[in-house]
Amino acid sequence: MLSISPMSQSAGDAASYYLTEEKHHDLPDVSLEVDTQSPEKETNYYLKEQSSEPNTQWFGKIAEQEGMLGKPVEEKQLEAVLSGHLNGTTVHGKRENHRNGFDFTFSAPKSVSTLALVGGDKRLITAHDDAVKFTLSHMEKDAAQAKYTDEQGKTAFANTGNLLFAMVRHKTSREDEPQMHTHALTSNMTKDEQNTLRALASCFKQQGGVINGTNERIYNHQKYYTALYQSTLARSAETLGYQTRSIGNNQFEIADVPESYLKSQSTRSQQINEHARSIGMDSQAARDMAAKGTRKGKSYASDATLMEKWQGDAKASGFDIQAFVASSYARANSEAPSQSLKPAAMDAAHRAINHQSQTRNQLGYEKLIESAATQFTQGEKLDVIDIKLAVDTLILQGHLIGLNDSQSLFTTQTMIDNEQKLIASTQGQKRHLRTLVNTQSLEQQGLSADNQDKINTLFASRKQTNIVNVFGQSQQIASALLH
């Protein structure tokens, strides 16, 4: 799951909050040590407590350019970056009310969180980190933008392809339940072609079918990036010896982890979903708002108390979580599965193209993949990565024709041909088109004779634009217009 929120605190408060939020727990890392070479019939395993490894790191193209990639995030450095300063350089034209940036939070499925943090499978922590990085790389490539003024003096947008992320991984929810999640703190800066540090572009009025603005693009494609993270993590989990099951919306859980146990560890999710439903909204944006609106302070339970409770909850549910993790080692595959083009994925992509082209004259890359993955897989076990490969193949084959330099909008030859036929059929007739009304259908609407005459006159008009004044109750008007 990916949630999005602006960092509204001061740079200093934000840096302190994210880097010290869980320090009161001082939760040690636990690792399940498995003896796969044991001569005994049963695998020997035990939980080993380890000192906590760094839970922060810098990521992104800017981090790579500045020699920060993979290094721990220090509070003073994070405060400077959020304030618009990077290694002695300041964002060009930095304003006094410079925005800090955004918090993109990636939350692991509850089964992954419990197996990693309670069952001691540290491989899943690495898999989560890798899935977050994979998704951030795509967000960076797709959404990073800066504003500039073109030769006509108009505001324009340039894709930059570079961002700076401070990744901060946490282990607990607000209810002190195991919940592995990473805050990808995205600073309000990017580098243009001249290597000048600039603020990220924002765009309040979208035009021409292209979504502009870094955060606007990510918001618009939130489901797509959620699916990328989930698909990447699910594939890694399967490589590690687990089976996965779909729970809808391109999300998954580890199979055979008892549902009752997962529910007992998901108090926070239930609170958020209930609050979103109570206000009559069920979108991810509504859940993001509900998460902020129902947030409470941390309990500050000690590390020993918390880990003891987590272990006790698993035992009380009858779930031998350590044995479950240990059994996955025997099924693990040392090699990552090869990525191959699946016919079912190509079929889903074609179906999505045909469906969207009925009502649109251009196809958005992310929305096309999202549509194919959620609506047209026809029960096949396909994830968004399968669909993405199929769409990329259609682009290489020329079936999808790019409409812009960033390769975010496409059309097809069929769509072009249909548009040209429409233009040809109306050529020279701009002022001479009229539409005949189906008399029988009109009579079935139960309208007065006067209103029927007005509709006949309206449709018979050769004018390109007609303005009609309507009277009556809004529901009646809406019903009449829909018919």
Position 419 in a domain: yes
In the block, tokens 């939980």 appear at 47
pLDDT confidence band for 23 (50 / 70 / 90)? low
Whether residues 39 and 139 share a domain: the answer is yes
Last residue in a domain, options 299, 331, 363: 331
Position 336 in a domain: no
Q: Where are the alpha helices (DSSP H) in 319-412?
A: 321-331, 343-357, 365-375, 384-396
Whether residues 78 and 180 share a domain: the answer is yes
46, β-bridge pairs = 33
Whether residues 135 and 279 share a domain: the answer is yes
Whether residues 160 and 40 share a domain: the answer is yes
Q: Give the count of alpha carbons within 13 A of 260, CB side only.
A: 7
- Per mean pLDDT, which of 156-160, 280-284, 405-409 is the most reliable? 156-160
Last residue in a domain, options 310, 331, 352: 331
Whether residues 274 and 349 share a domain: the answer is no
Q: Give the closest residue to 400 by CA, choosing from 109, 408, 185, 37.
A: 408
Q: What total of structural domains would you count in the chain?
A: 3
pLDDT of residue 175: 84
8 Å CB contact between 363 and 371: no
pLDDT in tens, 313-352: 999 999 999 999 999 998 998 776 678 899 999 999 999 9
Mean pLDDT of all residues in 277-305: 57
Backbone angles phi, psi at 394, to 5 degrees: -65, -30
Least confident of 39-43, 236-240, 382-386, 404-408: 39-43
pLDDT of residue 131: 98
pLDDT of residue 481: 63
Position 156 in a domain: yes
Range of the domain at 413: 343-426
Q: Is the pLDDT of residue 432 over 60?
A: no
Count, in order, helices (H) and strands (E) of the chain.
19, 18
8 Å CB contact between 163 and 62: yes
Whether residues 421 and 449 share a domain: the answer is no
Whether residues 368 and 463 share a domain: the answer is no
Backbone angles phi, psi at 251, to 5 degrees: -120, 165
User: What CA–CA distance (Å, rounded) separates 253 from 45?
Assistant: 24
Whether residues 318 and 367 share a domain: the answer is no
Q: CA-CA-CA-CA torsion for 6, 12, 14, 15, nearest 10 degrees?
A: 120
Whether residues 326 and 229 share a domain: the answer is yes
Whether residues 349 and 448 share a domain: the answer is no
Mean pLDDT of all residues in 434-451: 80
Whether residues 135 and 189 share a domain: the answer is yes
Whether residues 192 and 300 share a domain: the answer is yes
Query: Helix, strand, or coil here: 234?
Result: helix
pLDDT in tens, 77-120: 999 999 999 999 999 988 888 899 999 999 999 999 999 999 99
Position 434 in a domain: no
pLDDT confidence band for 421 (50 / 70 / 90)? confident
Position 34 in a domain: yes
Position 338 in a domain: no
Contacts of range 156-160, beta carbons closer than 8 Å, 24 or more positions apart = 157/201, 157/203, 157/212, 157/213, 158/192, 158/193, 159/405, 159/406, 160/190, 160/191, 160/192, 160/193, 160/198
Position 50 in a domain: yes
